[in-house]
Every structure is written in C-alpha cells, then in structure tokens.
C-alpha cells in the first residue's frame, strides 16, 4: 500500500475513533437540569438491551451493568427490559450478572420486566424514582442522554434530580460506542429528531 494511502487511512481511523469518543464524552455531560448538583444517586436505572441468543449476558449488557455498578455510592439498581422469544428478560439477565458476576448484594437489585423501548424503560421505572433524592441512568453515554431527555419530557420534576452515572471512560468498549453512535444518529435522522 502506498505511504500516502496508508497515512490517509490512518488519519481516517484516528478521526473516527476521536469523533466517537467526543460524541460519548459530550453526551455524558448533557441532559441535566441547569445548576444540577453532583452527588451519589439513590437509584440507578439500567436501560435494557437483548441478551445473547442463548439467554446469557451480552457484551452490551455487561457494559451497561458495569457502568451501573461502578457509579459511586450504594444506590438501588433498577434493571429494566422485557423478555422475548422465551428467553429470560433483559432485566433479569443483567440483574443476575450484577449479583453473580459483579458481587452486588441482591438487596440492592430490582427489576422492571415489561419495558420494550427506551421510552418505556423510563416510563415504567418512574414509580421507583419518586422517593429518590438523586437519580442516575446507566447505559452508553449517547443512549443515557436520550433516556434523560425522555425523563425530562415525562417527569420534569424527577429530571431535576438527575446526576451523572460513571458512564464515560476514554477508549472503553470503543466497538460498542461506535455502534451506539451509529444507531442514535441514524435513528435521529430517520425520525427527524434533534441530536
């Protein structure tokens, strides 16, 4: 391969990597009420996604669960997501991984097993957020930003209590970050929504 072409490909790869990282870094800091206070959440809502075809925990589920578990404090973790095709629910798979794989005490884990969309993840967990002083949403940063916007539309009073989850780390799960950026940008363009 000619050196000029190699440099072009390298520059393109580096630009793509940095662009995806920048999108996630920015998303991690957006969607909070003005003047919101930092602090440890009382409740972390973990957004669902499908398990592997055999019903075991998927890479995306592992990442989302890890984000929830490493968020500072001893919050109650509410895993949200429905069951499909005779498999355990998304919520149950992630909750089991949190307890058995990451050592979270079972008394800190709750599940919501009806939601099939991000809008429903937020809507169906609202009752569990009412008593919380601070709430975090755990997912990839761009997905969590969308959920924070949904919470602001559904319950502005609860959105005012949002704090950041520990969702962004430079270079972490870059393959999954790239997929979530592509999905959210494509979805926004398809539905003509603001990014």
Tens place of pLDDT per residue across the chain (195 aa): 567 667 666 666 556 666 777 777 888 888 887 766 678 899 999 999 999 999 999 999 999 999 999 999 999 999 999 998 889 999 999 999 999 999 999 999 999 999 999 999 999 999 999 889 999 999 999 999 999 999 999 999 999 999 999 998 777 876 777 777 666 765 655 555 555
Distance separating alpha carbons of residues 91 and 79, to the nearest angstrom = 5
Asked if 165 contacts 136 with a C-beta cutoff of 8 angstroms, the reply is yes
pLDDT for 71: 96
Q: Considering Cα of 114, then 120, then 125, then 126, what sign does the dihedral take?
A: negative
Alpha-carbon gap, residue 155 to 123, rounded angstroms: 9
Going by C-alpha positions, the residue among 28, 37, 25, 48 that lies closest to residue 162 is 37
pLDDT of residue 52: 94
Domains of the chain: 39-191 (3.40.50.620)
- Tell me, what's the pLDDT at 130? 87
Neighbours of 91 (CB within 10 A): 27
């Amino acid at each position: 391969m000619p050196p000029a072409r190699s440099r072009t490909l390298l520059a393109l790869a580096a630009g793509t990597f940095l662009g995806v990282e920048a999108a996630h870094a920015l998303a991690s800091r957006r969607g909070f009420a003005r003047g919101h206070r930092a602090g440890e959440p009382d409740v972390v809502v973990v957004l669902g996604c499908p398990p592997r075809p055999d019903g075991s925990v998927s890479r995306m589920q592992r990442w989302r669960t890890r984000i929830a578990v490493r968020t500072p404090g001893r919050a109650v973790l509410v895993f949200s997501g429905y069951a499909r095709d005779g498999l355990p629910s998304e919520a149950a798979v992630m909750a089991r991984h949190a307890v058995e794989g990451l050592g979270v005490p079972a008394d800190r884990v709750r599940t919501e097993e009806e939601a099939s969309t991000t809008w429903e993840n937020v809507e169906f967990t609202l009752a569990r957020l009412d008593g919380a002083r601070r709430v975090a949403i755990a997912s990839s940063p761009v997905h969590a930003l969308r959920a924070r916007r949904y919470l602001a539309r559904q319950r502005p009073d609860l959105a005012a209590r949002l704090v950041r989850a520990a969702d962004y780390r430079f270079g972490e799960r870059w393959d999954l970050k790239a997929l979530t950026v592509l999905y959210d940008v494509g979805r926004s363009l398809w539905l003509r929504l603001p990014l």
